[in-house]
Amino acid sequence: MCLLTFIPASVAPDPTALRHGAEANPHGHGFAVVAGPRIVTGHGMNAEEVIDLFARVRAQHPRGPALFHSRYATHGIRTVDNCHPFPLGRDRRTVLAHNGVLPKRVHPGPYDWRSDTRIAAEDYLPGAPFGSIDTHKGFRGLESWLGSSKLLILTVDPAFDQQVYLLNESKGHWDNGIWYSNRSYLPWSQRYTTRRSLACRSCEAIDVHRVGRYCTTCGWCFACGNRFPHCACRRPRPNAARHRAHSRPLTLPAKPPTAPSP
């Protein structure tokens, strides 16, 4: 699921909301704060330590926009190297963070322990595959590629027209001047109403007619918390030879001849 939080310039972050998000998304945390001509970032696996560090950095640089991210791993191992935000093309003047699952084009291959967002930041998006994000075509092209995901870019690179690019903003929520990518920043008692009891924890889609264990929008498994086809509840299919062995018709042994009755 992840929780991506955008704190605009001169807006104070809500540490309580960040802690709620970290509890729901416990697989690593990170932040970025625009501090004049540079961006200050921090990452870690311990939520309290990262939130406390973020609060101190933000207090020193309150006039720049900032982001905070708590990760719920879907691709890539659970390590600090996979914690958002990531530099765009390893240029630390521009960083990005993401919530959701990106298209298969950037999914990790065998023996690639990176997350899909890290692969996109390092290998795919630096080439501007949709054109300049400062153009309507480039911005909408990237949003379309993201699907239901949300992406936040902070930059101090003068090659960009803006410092902040929030893609698929309408799919998130504004609360007291802060934008959250989903409702996991709320206490559990407020996160889901009766109608939202069927809400998917991955994409937050609500399907009141769901009859199986999978979210019909994104394939999330409500039982094990993994996305189809990586669901741990699936049983491996038997191989063909074993299946044929079990599917052979049973043959009964021939009865021994009986002696004729006198």
Count of domains for the chain: 2
Is 152 inside any structural domain?
yes
Question: Quick one: CA dihedral 204, 227, 69, 168, positive or negative?
Answer: negative
113 lies in the same domain as 197: no
Answer whether residue 259 is part of any domain: no
CA atoms within 13 Å, Cβ hemisphere of 186:
14
The whole-number pLDDT of residue 181 equals 95
**Host H or E run for residue 57:** helix 47-60
Distance of alpha carbon 163 from the chain centroid: 23
Is residue 178 located within the same domain as residue 203? no
pLDDT given at position 12: 94
Q: Which residues contact 197 (CB under 8 A, 6 or more apart)?
A: none
Q: Which residues contact 1 (CB under 8 A, 6 or more apart)?
A: 24, 25, 72, 99, 182, 184, 201, 202, 204
197 vs 191: CA distance, rounded Å? 9
Residue range of the domain that includes 169: 3-188
Which token pair is 49? 């330590």
Query: pLDDT truncated to tens, each residue of the chain (262 aa)?
Result: 689 999 999 999 999 999 999 998 999 999 999 999 999 999 999 999 999 999 999 999 999 999 999 998 888 889 999 999 999 998 999 999 999 889 989 998 889 999 999 999 999 999 999 999 999 999 999 999 999 999 999 999 999 999 999 999 999 999 999 999 999 999 877 766 544 556 676 676 666 556 567 787 777 787 676 766 667 675 555 454 444 445 455 455 555 555 555 5
Residue 232, amino acid: A
How far is the C-alpha of 204 from the C-alpha of 182, rounded, in Å?
8
Whether 256 is in a domain gets the answer no
What pLDDT shows up at residue 234?
A: 59
**Residues 119 and 232 both lie in one domain:** no
Evaluate whether residue 255 is within a structural domain.
no
Q: Residue 187 has what pLDDT?
A: 87
Question: Are residues 138 and 200 part of one domain?
Answer: no
Strands 173-175 and 91-99: unpaired
From residue 162, give the alpha-carbon distance in Å to each of 65, 67, 86, 131, 210.
11, 16, 18, 16, 42
Let me know if residue 11 belongs to a domain: yes
Q: Are residues 127 and 210 in the same domain?
A: no
- Out of 148, 171, 188, a domain closes at 188
**Beta pairing class for 38-44 and 86-88:** unpaired
- 59 lies in a domain? yes
**149 found inside a domain:** yes
Give the HSE-up count for residue 68: Cα atoms under 13 Å, Cβ half-sphere.
29
Which pLDDT does position 216 carry in this prediction? 74
DSSP secondary structure letters along 14-56: -HHHHHHHHHHS-S-EEEEEEETTEEEEEEES-HHHHHHHHHH
Residue 253 within any structural domain of the chain: no
Q: Which one-letter DSSP state was computed for residue 139?
A: H
